[in-house]
Amino acid sequence: MTPADPFRALARPSPCARRAARRTALATLLALAALAAGCAGRAARDPFAGAALVDLTHALDADTVFWPTEREGFVLEPVFHGRTEGGFWYEANRFRTAEHGGTHLDAPVHFGEGRPAVDAIPVERLAGPAVRIDVSAACAADPVHAVTVDELRAFEAAHGRIPDGALVLLHTGWGRHWPDRGRYLGTPLRGPEALPELRFPGLSEAAARWLVDERKVRAVGIDTASIDPGPSTGFEAHRVLAAAEVPGLENLANLDRLPARGFWVVALPTKIRGGSGAPLRAIAIVPNQR
């Protein structure tokens, strides 16, 4: 039912009606003002109260690991560091970097023709409930392990169903090698000659397809240099995710600090128009487990 308009009667010709309407309108305005004052006087509830914020991001610096075909890594060039003529301190730098290095996002267009670039990814895909799937034991036994559908189902048997639309983070344990290029990538080489030597875990094509088809995931993250295992030459997991417009989050940090479920992730890339990837600042919000 539509509430009565307290101002409507002001248009009536009767003086008594107009006075009554003015009193009603005045009472309504006073009630609204009191309500607003009460709301302003109360502090808004802090959604982070009691939660731990876990930084999932490696800092960009001279030691940052990039995809080995990138000859140059992250470069920070000082422009001015010092005191100005006015006597106050001032610092400014410029930097240059490739899209795919350090903690970063793979946009669907990276492996999907006509799919969204970085700036076209809906923000709803970059934040939401998340799960952490620990496959570190299997990856320690096999450095090129490809996560299987059976492992995803085993996670659900132990921790409950992966929520539809969740961000899925794969904890391989490879973050412990950062930033040692040789151990993290399997080779210290740079350039095309490094590609046959890459050794690190990733996601199998079948598991990627299961996450897309069966759980409608909004993003997939991993603590290695690629969603696909190091020896992959077809990048099948990348292609499955790209076709479903699912972003990839690579080179994540501190996944060992997360529970299996019951937390949220916010993963915001630099909004590069037309970018196939971008540096990423990702955090996890882990509520008080009590």
Residues annotated as catalytic are 110
Q: Copy the structure tokens of residue 248.
A: 């990839």
Instruction: Measure the CA–CA gap between 123 and 136, rounded to whole angstroms.
Output: 30
DSSP string, 83-147: E-TTS-EEEEEEEE--SSBSSEEE-GGGTSTT---GGGS-GGGGEEEEEEEE-HHHHHH-TT-EE
Name the 3-class secondary structure at 170.
strand
Beta pairing partners, 281: 268
Instruction: Measure the CA–CA gap between 133 and 161, rounded to whole angstroms.
Output: 12
- Residue closest to 151 by CA, chosen among 172, 174, 177: 172
Name the 3-class secondary structure at 164.
coil
